[in-house]
Homo-oligomer: A and B are copies of this chain.
Amino acid sequence: MASRIFRPRVLDGRRGRYRPTDLVRQRRGHLSVRCDEPWFREQSKNGSDIGMRKIIVVTGASNGFGRLASNALARAGHTVYASMRETTGQVKAFARQHSADLHAIELDVASQESVNAAIAEIISRNNQLDVVVHSANHTAYGPAEAFTPEQLAQLYDTNVLGAQRVNRAALPQLRKQGQGLLVWISSSGTRGGTPPYLGPYFATKAAMDALAVSYAGELARWGIETTIIVPGSFTKGTNYYAHSGRPADAVRAEEYADGPTADISEITLRGLAALGPTNADPQSVADAIVEVIDTPFGSRPFRVHFEPSDDGAAIVNGVADRARAELLQLIGLEDILKPTIIG
């Protein structure tokens, strides 16, 4: 069972079964993740808490995966707090339209005060908090040398320290309950093939992934489970480049644009677009998060991969997670590979 959790989960809808360590190529032109997979159905039959309404907070829910996940989770019957820096009417409209228990809540991951207030509000309303989905995320694009250290710090603040602030606010409640789930939205770029000009961004995602892995082991005996979602590059629907930060040092960026690196950006963007299926749908990532959350406690996958551009992350993470499992077994901590079932 432990080895199952530490195998990368590549769901291949075309074949209707797992291909744990193989790369999945897209042949039908749609993202090959389906949530009526045998694995999901199996878990559902045996689950004790399957179908139970969970209290969930999602960070960075104003756009991208966070927004899609909030909506999908609410439509699946959960109580969802779509947290974002500034709430808009959009969440309320969606909730009304779908009769969903979905609430917008102001939470700025850059401020511990704001995070504390939002999490306290959720707990006081429900006397419970079951799941945290870490999806607050900023991207950046350009030659690494042209970013100031302040820009790198800013990215780290949103993508890593934001999760740390939310964890520090939420984990005392989850540990007190003796059961909970952290879902981290990582990136295939932390371990798979890495195109140029995403260095500062990948640095933060690699850090977030490493932190998620450490937390997984440290929280297991408190009854807290971890699932790391590893999306590849989705060119549609997530506004991947639209909101990307650009280098503040324009002089340095210009040197790269005029120098021997002049065509790197164009080749990279054209190449990535050609590799990924143009209709890879980020909604499937949100649907998979719903399925992970509906999977019984203790049986959830450690990672779920999506590789529209087939960049190798599933294989690399498979080897890395296995090395981690082996080390923990060797030093006598194999029990923290899975969450303890308390009570």
What is A's interface to B at a CB cutoff of 8 Å? 112, 143-145, 147-149, 152-153, 156-157, 160-161, 164-165, 167-168, 171, 175, 190-200, 202-211, 213-215, 217-218, 221-222, 249, 252, 255-256, 259-261, 264, 267-268, 270-272, 274-275, 311-313, 315-316, 319-320, 322-328, 330-333, 336, 340
Contact = CB atoms under 8 A, between A and B. Distances in A.
A192 B316 CA distance: 11
Contact of A203 (B149, B211, B222): B211
Contacts of A165: 149
Given A199-B218, A207-B204, A261-B221, A323 B333 contact: no
B312 A194 contact: no
B221 A199 contact: no
A54 to B, nearest CB: 21
B194 A213 contact: yes
6 contacts: A153-B157, A195-B327, A222-B260, A268-B333, A272-B331, A275-B331
A203 B160 CA distance: 9
A166 to B, nearest CB: 10
Nearest to A249: B168
A168 B217 CA distance: 37
A270 to B, nearest CB: 8
Contact of A196 (B152, B156, B214, B316): B214
B161 A152 contact: yes
Contacts of A193: 323-328, 330
A319 B330 contact: no
Residue of A147, A148, A164, A312 ringed by the most chain B CB atoms within 10 A = A164
Contacts of A325: 193
B195 A144 contact: no
A27 to B, nearest CB: 17
Given A206-B206, A332-B267, A326 B340 contact: no
B203 A259 contact: no
Contacts of A336: 196, 264
Contacts of A275: 327, 330-331
Contacts of A324: 192-194, 312
Contacts of A316: 316, 319-320, 323
Contact of A145 (B167, B195, B196, B261): B167
A214 B145 CA distance: 10
A205 to B, nearest CB: 8
A291 to B, nearest CB: 27
Contacts of A274: 331
Contact of A144 (B205, B215, B272, B323): B215
Given A193-B323, A193-B328, A333-B267, A256 B143 contact: no
B161 A153 contact: yes
Contacts of A148: 168
A232 to B, nearest CB: 11
Contact of A207 (B156, B261, B327): B156
Nearest to A204: B207
Nearest to A210: B206
A214 B331 contact: no
A331 B143 contact: no
Given A152-B161, A190-B206, 18 more contacts: A144-B164, A149-B157, A149-B161, A149-B164, A156-B207, A195-B328, A195-B331, A199-B215, A200-B211, A202-B210, A203-B210, A204-B207, A205-B210, A221-B264, A267-B333, A270-B331, A272-B331, A315-B323
